[in-house]
Amino acid sequence: MKNYKIAVLPGDGIGKEIMPQAVKALEAVSQATEDFSLELEQYPWGVEYYMETGEMMPQNGIDTLSKFDAIYFVAAGNPAVTDYLSAWEFIFVMRKQFQQYINLRPIKSYPGVPTLLANPKGEIDFVIVRENSEGEYAGPGGVVHVDQSNEVAIQTNVFTRHGVERVARYAFELARTRRKRVTNVTKSNAMLHGLVFWDKVVDEVAKEYPDVEYEHLYVDAATMKFIQNPPWFDVIVTTNLFGDILSDLGGAMVGSIGLTPSANINPERNFPSMFEPVHGSAPDIAGQGIANPTATILAGAMMLDFLGEKVGAKLLTNATNQTLQAGIKSGDLGGTAGTKKIGEAIAKKVMDLA
């Protein structure tokens, strides 16, 4: 039996309520399949930890996390602290230090959960492959003449051939396992340097995959097509910023961002990958026991799949699907079930299906 060491990071806000239910579901899969065991180590790091200690995580935090097979994370953020801190001093640190340059965000409609579209024209099932280490979130830039009339802010996007090639190849390889269509989404008609370069490199990579249908859409046209004909999409490859925005739109389309998991992947497996929901810490509902744990549980299924536990991943996904279909849903999906009830229902369904 394989044993996996998982670093558990509930983070802030609703993370503390969601994570126990997500762990419960994972442990149910381990028990039901008897294919693997989980060695879970939980750390309280995040913004609320910062408010107590003055640091988002200890100075040896990255070294500590590097020893794990994967990181299971919910969200970081608190209104008392700027979101810049949670991103640049915590989340982005893990993504960059562990070279998690692929951000994978599946967008899928579920039986029993109405989409927010009047006519979705069929099942919604596509994946956004977001470049996760460069682009608009790379960081170079600065502000000069602060608080003066001539104050200037400069934000520099960074696109390297290496970075664009590797995310494009990942997208095309993924498409080969699905419906063999890749849509490249940019805004190169307006951003004449970085995104013209991005398109050039992705076009070159596309020629290596003649068996995969390839198209390019400007991001504004893509948002319209999201609403008009979402089943058209299969695999979308896009930049850090556009992938972030489009995945939120996709989550809303299928009923709630509370259904959308994600994975921050180091494909070479030289470092641990990190699995989390797309949603944030939702401090406005924290402590009420009403947060939707579905996205985090589905991120756990993505984690099992990445670790090679395909049977367990499918079991957890099916259990989640059937729980939703049975009408056990949180308030954001029009239901009345609380966080604990949903987690317990999914864990029970895992055992029933095994």
- The tokens 């991103």 sit on which residue? 87
Residue 340: active-site member: no
Q: Indicate the angle between helix axes 310-325 and 294-307, nearest 10 degrees.
A: 160
Which secondary structure element, helix H or strand E, spans residue 118, and what is its range?
A: none
> Token pair for residue 25?
């579901």
**Per annotation, catalytic residue among 12, 69, 234, 244:** 244
End-to-end Cα, the chain, rounded Å: 17
Residue 284: active-site member: no
**Per annotation, catalytic residue among 137, 170, 209, 214:** 137
Which secondary structure element, helix H or strand E, spans residue 185, and what is its range?
A: strand 181-186
Which secondary structure element, helix H or strand E, spans residue 21, and what is its range?
A: helix 15-33
> Token pair for residue 236?
């979308």
Q: What residues have CB less than 8 Å from 123, skipping those under 6 apart?
A: 108, 109, 231
Residue 125: active-site member: no
Residue 234: active-site member: no
Residue 5: active-site member: no
Q: How far apart are CA 340 and CA 338, in angstroms?
A: 6
DSSP string, 124-180: -EEEEEEE-SSBTTS--EEEESTTSTT-EEEE--B--HHHHHHHHHHHHHHHHTTTS
**Per annotation, catalytic residue among 16, 187, 329, 349:** 187
Which residue type occupies 309?
E
Q: How far apart are CA 52 and CA 12, in angstroms?
A: 13
- Residue 13 gets the label, from left (phi > 0), alpha (psi -120 to 50) or beta, of left
Which residue type occupies 322?
Q
**Per annotation, catalytic residue among 125, 248, 341, 348:** 248
**Of 268, 208, 219, 264, nearest in space to 242 by CA:** 219
Active-site residues, by number, are 137, 187, 220, 244, 248
